């Protein structure tokens, strides 16, 4: 949710500070009136202004990948049912190929009726279509140039090849806190990606995911939690807070990737480029480096 110039200025800073990845959100447009409540705020209102910049994630990731070498990128999240899956798969495959396999695909279903109506897609079928979309993207982006075909209820196509292709399968993370979303993450995902949440909320989800993975016979599979945990932040406990929560998730069988927004906790204008730059560097020195020095 940065101005485009900030994306380009801060990506190399984040890489140099030791961050592993950048999460890029999506908002196609901002309807003046929305006929549904935002599901992740107490009063159902959106917490961002209409003119908040949401650079298209494919464009943003392409630009940042071109000026970095190790930093990964995750979409947080692409509203996949607003797109045709072959076009989405083509974009993801190209992103992975041009970045050197530094892309994770986070997907969600969207909650805004106007997005579906004005883009000519069905909101009623979004869950079933998302399942098929994930299957199609995985077929195309599984790490090789192969002929693929798909015959589903909502999408159907004969043998085709998409090139360029990634050299490794693109990880797919499924967003959403509903039971249906968690089941989808276990059924077809490599991990789960959260909205902003407390550690107790994430604990609840993690325990539910652990149960679902056990029921599905997937306890031996790697599974990532990519979380924006509001109360695991630089504070009096500092590094220990991150390490302890990561260890708690590891005990349940997960790896955890923390999303952090350190410029909100260092003073100064959180929208200013210099504040964001110094916050990233300080977080690298004070949290990432000490964590990296710990035994795992």
Taking only the tens place, the pLDDT of each residue in 91-102 is: 999 999 999 999
Number of other residues whose CB lies within 10 A of the CB of residue 86: 18
Q: With 0.85 as the threshold, say if the pTM is over it.
A: yes
**pLDDT of residue 221 exceeding 60:** yes
Domain extents for the chain?
A: 23-170, 172-260
For 211-229, letters b (16+ CB in 10 Å) and e give ebbeeeeeeeeebbbbbbb
Topology of domain 23-170 in CATH is TIM Barrel (3.20.20)
Question: What integer is the mean pLDDT of 75-89?
Answer: 97
* % the chain with pLDDT above 70: 97
Share of the chain residues as helix, strand and coil, in percent rounded to the nearest 5 = 45, 15, 40
Per-residue confidence band for 32, with pLDDT thresholds at 50, 70 and 90? very high
**Per-residue pLDDT tens for 110-148?**
999 999 999 999 999 999 999 999 999 999 999 988 999
d(CA 147, CA 200) in angstroms, rounded, equals 45
- Per-residue pLDDT band for 229 (boundaries 50, 70, 90) equals very high
CA neighbor of 10 nearest in space, from 77, 76, 67: 67
- Confidence check: pLDDT of 262 > 80: yes
Mean pLDDT of the chain: 93
Find the mean pLDDT for residues 182-208.
Answer: 96
pLDDT on residue 37: 87
Pair of tokens at residue 35: 């006929």
pLDDT for 241 equals: 87
Average the pLDDT over 31-54 and give the result: 87
Helix (H) or strand (E) segment spanning residue 207: helix 199-215
Q: What is the CA radius of gyration of the chain?
A: 19
pLDDT of residue 49: 87
Contact 186, 172 (CB under 8 A): no
DSSP notation for 230-282: TTSSSSSSTHHHHHHHHHHHHHTT-EEEE---GGGSSSS-TT-HHHHHHHHHH
Question: Is the pLDDT confidence value at 69 over 70?
Answer: yes
CB 138 within 8 A of CB 169: yes
pLDDT score, position 236: 54
Q: Which two tokens stand for residue 271?
A: 């929208």
Each residue's pLDDT tens digit, 14-25: 999 999 999 999
Using pLDDT thresholds of 50, 70 and 90, give the confidence band for residue 70.
very high
H or E segment and range at residue 185: helix 179-188
pLDDT (0 to 100) of residue 234: 61
User: Token pair 């984040």 is at which residue?
Assistant: 14
263-288 average pLDDT score:
93
């Amino acid at each position: 949710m940065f101005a485009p110039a900030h994306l380009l200025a801060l990506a190399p800073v984040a890489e140099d500070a030791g961050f592993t990845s950048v999460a890029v959100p999506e908002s196609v447009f901002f309807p003046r009136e929305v006929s549904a409540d935002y599901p992740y705020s107490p009063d159902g209102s959106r917490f961002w202004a209409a003119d908040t910049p949401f650079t298209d994630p494919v464009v943003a990731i392409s630009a940042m990948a071109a000026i970095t070498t190790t930093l990964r990128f995750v979409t947080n999240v692409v509203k996949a049912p607003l797109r045709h899956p072959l076009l989405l798969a083509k974009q993801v495959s190209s992103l992975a190929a041009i970045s050197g396999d530094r892309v994770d695909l986070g997907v969600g279903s969207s909650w805004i009726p106007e997005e579906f109506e004005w883009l000519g897609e069905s909101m009623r079928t979004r869950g079933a279509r998302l399942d098929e979309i994930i299957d199609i993207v995985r077929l195309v982006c599984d790490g090789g140039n192969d002929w693929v075909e798909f015959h589903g209820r909502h999408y159907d196509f004969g043998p085709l090849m998409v090139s360029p292709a990634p050299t490794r399968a693109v990880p797919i993370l499924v967003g959403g806190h509903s039971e249906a979303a968690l089941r989808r993450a276990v059924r077809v995902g490599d991990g789960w990606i959260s909205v902003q949440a407390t550690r107790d909320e994430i604990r609840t989800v993690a325990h539910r995911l652990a149960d679902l993975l056990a029921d599905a016979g997937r306890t031996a599979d790697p599974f990532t939690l990519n979380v924006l945990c509001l109360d695991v932040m630089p504070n009096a406990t500092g590094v220990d807070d991150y390490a302890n929560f990561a260890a708690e998730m590891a005990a349940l069988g997960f790896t955890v990737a923390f999303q952090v927004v350190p410029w909100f906790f260092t003073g100064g204008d959180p929208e200013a480029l210099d504040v964001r730059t110094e916050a990233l560097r300080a977080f690298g020195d004070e949290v990432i480096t000490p964590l990296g020095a710990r035994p795992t």
